[in-house]
Structure 1
Amino acid sequence: MARDTDRLAEGLRAFLPRGAGITGVKTLSAGHSNETYLVEGLNEILRMPPSEEGLLPPYDMARQHAVLSAVKAHAPAVPLPAMLELSTDPSVVGDDFFLMECVPGEAFEYVTPDWVKADPVAVPDSICRQWFDAVIGLHTMPVGEMPPGGRTVQQEAQHWLDVARSAEATTDLIGVLEDLTARPPATSGAPTPVHGDPKHGNCLWHQGRLTALLDWEMAQISEPLLDLGYILMFHDQGEASLADAGFEQPGWWSPERMIAEWEKGTGRTAVDVARYTVLGQAKVAAIIALGAYLFTSGKVADVRFKAFGAVLPAYTKLLVSRAMAAA
């Protein structure tokens, strides 16, 4: 994250009515796309596009702000911070941005925390219950309250096929996405609000309670099975595993339990769920391929993207195996 945090603090002080209370801006640990900062003195969160070329363009901060505001207002089962100011004037801090409430919590994705392992049945079960209540709450939100914009399932597969091709991905990955584009999975009904990245690593937890579901840049109106398949693909990844901390606990829900709870909560049938799981994994593989390509081509210097290339072969092998089983 290459931004000058002193410049960010200076710009926010001049922009915000409460700006005099800002004592600094602190870089928080970042994902691989949008950037997040803590505005010290106000205890608020600043959200901005990536300071280098990112994995998930375009970075429409106004739309993200609108999505979060809509979900906050119309899907009470989805815990979210309160949304604050939005600015689309790049002269303020150099890019569009928005501010939101800072909520307590920690995320886990690669290492299972001690508080989860302390009660390996009841705590993981509670985590999955709260997580799925939030996802189901989004999928049953009135679709008219969601800001417009979305893709059909076929368009979704085509989009990630285009990403894979732009990243000069392997023929195996491109072949899976070509098949999903030519033969998209069946739909479960009318489109709904969809998160796009509803993995457990995007959940914040505080004292065993889900306090926020994060990272909404891929949110859209589409088929909700895209979200369910995305979640299911984290099961049983073996040596290709990227982020399955918690899944090893005995209380963690099985794929069958997740499907049953989603069907019960949404009133839909999880048709073609195996192919949606493949599509979710192919989407992640395309993103990994893009990250590796951006690093090797010199377009980004983020060393985390260098590691993407090392995991891609095992990940693609698992993807092809799952695609063959789901065909």
Structure 2
Amino acid sequence: MEQSMVAFLQRTLPDASRIEIENFQQIAGGFSRETFKCDARVTRNGAEEVMPLILRKDPPDVEAILHTDRSVEHALIESVRLRTTIPVSRSYGFEMDPAPFGEPAMVIERASGSGQTSALFNGGEDEDQAESVIKHLCEILVELHSCPVHKIDPDGLLTDPFHRGIKIDSWDSFMESTIEFMESSYPTLNYDPILMIALDAILTLRRNKPRPMPLAVVHGDFNPANFLYENGQVSALIDWEASRVGDPREDLGWMVLMDVVSNTHVMDYPKKEGGFLAYYNKLTGNDITPEELGYFTLFGTMQIAVPVQQFVSRRVNKEYMLLLPLYVAQSSMPALPTMAQLMGYAGVPA
């Protein structure tokens, strides 16, 4: 793939007289995209520079959990980079033709900073930075949610990027069309009796809708693994492929669940402001309640549960014999007690 990277960069950087790819290697972790890193040694106008890069490549179609579009992700990242102060890695472009890289792909800047966010908590070596890093993270999320949708998404690419039939003409239509998608998807993921809890969650979401709130661009996978930090600040918010227009409380609710699953404590910071939710409310004036946060924790869980459990269901039904769905099934099990707790099941510890 090194030669394909050279060819891609030659098109992107037409003034480069020489391009060499060094240290090309796959990055472990994550399973939504195949990710590689490398350094491009580029000569332009007689001067040499080293560009740290990331190649994000779609997996083979049969292995894809969530089908997302690299051209949409590129447009979003560049819009956020150019129209806000949110720290993101520059996207150099995308290649939708599968021939060069084997599948559609995009090339982005490799941002500086640590991705080992677990080091911020539980006595980790960077715990002294947790207060300032998470405070900055909250400010970044507030900026994203406060930015007008048309400013970040002028072409409407984030209206329904996963082609689920989601409507965004009003908060009510967004919620109802999303819940309808979940309910209509249930027969395709019901491979085990334990997943009756998913149907109960869908019906609970329909019964107990909270107050409306203006829709916004949401990150869609706002979790402790998707930001980098250095020197007490967030250096980049990463992995924007699940972004779309939605309710801003979705990002908060998903972080609550991922804090539990990841054994991190993002929502406890900044402690001087009373925690993440309190600081978010202070900055936005939204006064989001713990009950609303619980609702959107369940809502966010079901948003990702549908494609994940459909992926597992296809393996159970022997549509393919991959090992990855079995790993995914195991790693998703910790979410079930949280779902039961959110719905008030008897006998589930708080």
Instruction: Tell me the TM-score range normalised by the shorter chain.
Output: 0.7 to 0.9
- Could you say if the C-alpha distance between residues 106 and 50 of structure 1 is closer, same or farther in structure 2, counting changes exceeding 3 Å? farther
Q: Does 1:168 align with 2:181?
A: no
Residue 141 of structure 1 aligns with an amino acid whose one-letter code is C
TM-score (norm 1): 0.80
2:134 corresponding residue in structure 1: 128
Equivalent pair of 2:119/2:126 in contact (CA under 8 Å): no
Q: Does 1:263 align with 2:256?
A: no
- Could you say if the C-alpha distance between residues 306 and 255 of structure 1 is closer, same or farther in structure 2, counting changes exceeding 3 Å? farther
Q: Does 1:15 align with 2:8?
A: yes
Equivalent pair of 1:164/1:286 in contact (CA under 8 Å): yes
For 2:263 and 2:331, locate their aligned partners in 1 and report how far apart those are by CA, in whole Å.
Answer: 14
**1:45-124 map, 5 Å:** 45-51=54-60, 52-57=62-67, 59-76=68-85, 78-108=86-116, 111-112=118-119, 117-118=124-125, 120=127, 122-124=128-130
Residue 306 of structure 1 aligns with an amino acid whose one-letter code is L
Q: Structure 1: which 5+ residue stretches go unaligned?
A: 1-7
Q: Structure 2: which 5+ residue stretches go unaligned?
A: 11-15, 41-50, 160-165, 167-173, 346-350
Residue 54 of structure 2 aligns with an amino acid whose one-letter code is I
2:211 corresponding residue in structure 1: 186
For 1:95 and 1:274, locate their aligned partners in 2 and report how far apart those are by CA, in whole Å.
Answer: 38
- Could you say if the C-alpha distance between residues 90 and 259 of structure 1 is closer, same or farther in structure 2, counting changes exceeding 3 Å? same
Equivalent pair of 1:131/1:200 in contact (CA under 8 Å): no
- Could you say if the C-alpha distance between residues 45 and 320 of structure 1 is closer, same or farther in structure 2, counting changes exceeding 3 Å? same
How many Å apart are 1:314 and its aligned residue? 4.7
User: Deviations along 1:113-135, whole A, 9 cap, x unmatched?
Assistant: 68963464x42222220211111
Query: Greater RCO between the two (CA within 8 Å, min separation 6)?
Result: 1
Residue 141 of structure 2 aligns with an amino acid whose one-letter code is V
User: Deviations along 1:50-84, whole A, 9 cap, x unmatched?
Assistant: 23521111x211111011111111220x2101121
TM-score (norm 2): 0.76
Q: Does 1:154 align with 2:176?
A: yes
How many Å apart are 1:101 and its aligned residue? 1.2
For 2:234 and 2:225, locate their aligned partners in 1 and report how far apart those are by CA, in whole Å.
Answer: 12
Residue 107 of structure 1 aligns with an amino acid whose one-letter code is G
Q: Secondary structure at the match of 1:86?
A: strand
User: Deviations along 1:62-114, whole A, 9 cap, x unmatched?
Assistant: 111011111111220x21011212223333323322211111222236x5468
What is the root-mean-square deviation of aligned Cα atoms in Å? Answer: 3.1
How many Å apart are 1:197 and its aligned residue? 0.8
- Could you say if the C-alpha distance between residues 194 and 21 of structure 1 is closer, same or farther in structure 2, counting changes exceeding 3 Å? same
For 1:311 and 1:90, locate their aligned partners in 2 and report how far apart those are by CA, in whole Å.
Answer: 30
User: Deviations along 1:240-266, whole A, 9 cap, x unmatched?
Assistant: xx2123459x86659963222112222
2:171 corresponding residue in structure 1: none
Residue 78 of structure 2 aligns with an amino acid whose one-letter code is S
- Could you say if the C-alpha distance between residues 191 and 264 of structure 1 is closer, same or farther in structure 2, counting changes exceeding 3 Å? same
User: Deviations along 1:259-309, whole A, 9 cap, x unmatched?
Assistant: 221122223232633211221233344455345335444556664542333
Residue 186 of structure 1 aligns with an amino acid whose one-letter code is R
Q: Secondary structure at the match of 2:55?
A: strand
**Could you say which structure has the larger radius of gyration?**
2
Residue 263 of structure 2 aligns with an amino acid whose one-letter code is D
- Could you say if the C-alpha distance between residues 178 and 269 of structure 1 is closer, same or farther in structure 2, counting changes exceeding 3 Å? same
For 1:103 and 1:172, locate their aligned partners in 2 and report how far apart those are by CA, in whole Å.
Answer: 40
Q: Secondary structure at the match of 2:225?
A: helix
For 1:202 and 1:140, locate their aligned partners in 2 and report how far apart those are by CA, in whole Å.
Answer: 20
User: Deviations along 1:153-192, whole A, 9 cap, x unmatched?
Assistant: 333333344555422251111221133145433322x211
Equivalent pair of 1:193/1:224 in contact (CA under 8 Å): yes
**1:297-312 map, 5 Å:** 297-298=317-318, 303-312=323-332
Q: Which structure has the highest strand share of the two?
A: 2
